[in-house]
Structure 1
Amino acid sequence: MRKRMPRAGRRRLLSVRWRPARPPRRRRSEAKTMQEEIIVEGKSVEEAIEQGLSQLGLSREQVEVEVLEDAKSGLFGLMAKAAKVRLRPLEGGVGRAVRVAREILQHMGLEAEVEGMMEAGQVKINITGAGGILIGRRGETLSAFQYLLNRICNQDSERWDRIAVDVERYRARREEKMVEMAERLYRKVLDTGKAVTVKNLSAHDRRIVHMTLKDRGSVETHSHGTGRLRKLVVAPRGGKRPEHREKNAGGASDRVRTFTKRFESPFA
């Protein structure tokens, strides 16, 4: 026979109530990571970023930086404006781009530092340490890397984030050279009254020249040809454009598309 439990024991047993376990407290570092975005001002953009990172308790690689206003110096130090930046904890568009860029570099066997920020609605990635290997001939390898990064980061995204990649300010220096070249071509066309043709420019370089001279009323720019045979023409405005029929020579963009088709993304 089973022994009956005493009544007092039954009362104690029935008086026990179940209580749900409390969720574990979040550590300070985790709480800071979940913090909302902040807007910080400083004498310069870099100073504002450093102040924001200090407030969030995060590193540069853990936040998305958007430059809202650049610092402006007033006359005799009066009416000066401070720089203003917005910092958002990752992972967002910038965080994903930084992570994928690092993984691609690892697969390429390259050791480099990757930084990202949001500026003028565009994700900007700057890579330091890869050097000429990632830049390639006239920036062709860099353009392929940028194209691949855009495709991977946006393949499953509802919003397309435009990603611009630079290596140790290569694109910035190249843009300065293209602007100077555009000015020289402009003066040459004015002096001679004849059109000038330039070969072996990338699509990015041609676009810089077009944008530099688009508001010059005395000249006009256009491109003709396809692939590697595509040329840039700066001519007096109103001149007749010759017809050009050239076969596609298979430019850099064709090679990039072929490479991308073969590439199965492990980063999605």
Structure 2
Amino acid sequence: MKEVTAIGSTFEEAVSSALAQMNASREEVEIDVVEEGKKGLFGLFGARNYVIKVTLKKNAKKDTEQFLYDITKKMGLDVKIESKEVDREVIYHLSGKDIALLIGKRGQTLNSIQYLAQLVFNRSTNQYRTIIVDAENYRLRRREALEQLAHRLAYKAAKSKQEVSLEPMPSYERKVIHTVLLKNKEVKTYSAGEEPHRHLVISPIIKK
């Protein structure tokens, strides 16, 4: 329930009624007074109740978590979600039975869910955050694989003196490879193509 109208003989009574209906805390809502209450003569004659409208504040983190619960449920998965915020990144760790279905081939399903989660989160706030959706530490394993791939293909490009194009991948995966090869004096990297086919190119540095 995102919005309720509540009535009470006092303001606090109306607020308590609304919060109970919404199962929310006072910090999670915005309160607008629709009609001021009035005690009336001797507390009886002409008395008027408070009428308030209470609305849930947008909570980007909770909205995104609920989105992840909903989409995984539709996939027939029962997942547990833990979240944490590091600098300007919000990381959602998903775990549960048959979690491999959530990852997909080379993380494609997980990447698609992460892209949608990014949209859900940032439409609910004006403070942009990078959203990472992980499943059973797949991101760490993928990062390690990308780092190994980067070194192997950099060696290939330098030895053959020809550019090596990688498969299309999300920007943060391209960044992993780019960062790994920043200190490599034999190659340079750049991105080419348009999303969703944007990919990284490792180019040899030809010394004159």
Instruction: Give the C-alpha shift of residue 219 in structure 1.
Output: 1.4
- Name 1:222's counterpart in structure 2: 190
Name segments (4+ residues, structure 1) moved above 6 Å: 19-22
* CA distances 1:23-72 after superposition (whole Å, capped 9, x unpaired): 6xx9xxx9xx97x9xxxxxxxxxxxxxxxxxxxxxxxxxxxxxxxxxxxx
Instruction: Give the C-alpha shift of residue 118 in structure 1.
Output: 0.6
Task: Count the aligned residue pairs.
Answer: 160
Q: Unaligned 5+ residue runs, structure 1?
A: 1-18, 37-90, 240-268
Instruction: Give the C-alpha shift of residue 214 in structure 1.
Output: 2.2
Judged with a 3 Å threshold, the aligned counterparts in structure 2 of structure 1 residues 143 and 20 are, in CA distance, closer, same or farther, namely closer
Quote the sequence identity (%): 28
- Of 146, 154, 161, which residue of structure 1 is paired with 2:114? 146
Q: Is the 8 A contact 1:199 1:229 kept in 2?
A: no
Looking at structure 2, the residues matched to 182 and 115 of structure 1 have their Cα atoms a distance apart, in angstroms, of 31
Structure 2 SS opposite 1:109: coil
Looking at structure 2, the residues matched to 176 and 236 of structure 1 have their Cα atoms a distance apart, in angstroms, of 23
* CA distances 1:128-171 after superposition (whole Å, capped 9, x unpaired): 12522111122111111111112223324332332110111111
Looking at structure 2, the residues matched to 225 and 158 of structure 1 have their Cα atoms a distance apart, in angstroms, of 29
Please tell me whether residue 126 in structure 1 is matched to residue 93 in structure 2.
yes
Alignment of 1:1-268 (within 5 A): 92-129=59-96, 130-190=98-158, 192=159, 194-203=161-170, 204-226=172-194, 232-237=200-205
Q: Is the 8 A contact 2:122 2:128 kept in 1?
A: yes
Structure with more of its chain in strand, by fraction:
2
Looking at structure 2, the residues matched to 227 and 150 of structure 1 have their Cα atoms a distance apart, in angstroms, of 16
Looking at structure 1, the residues matched to 192 and 79 of structure 2 have their Cα atoms a distance apart, in angstroms, of 38
TM-score, normalised relative to structure 2: 0.62
TM-score, normalised relative to structure 1: 0.49
* CA distances 1:185-213 after superposition (whole Å, capped 9, x unpaired): 233444x2513414434234333211211
Looking at structure 1, the residues matched to 188 and 62 of structure 2 have their Cα atoms a distance apart, in angstroms, of 41
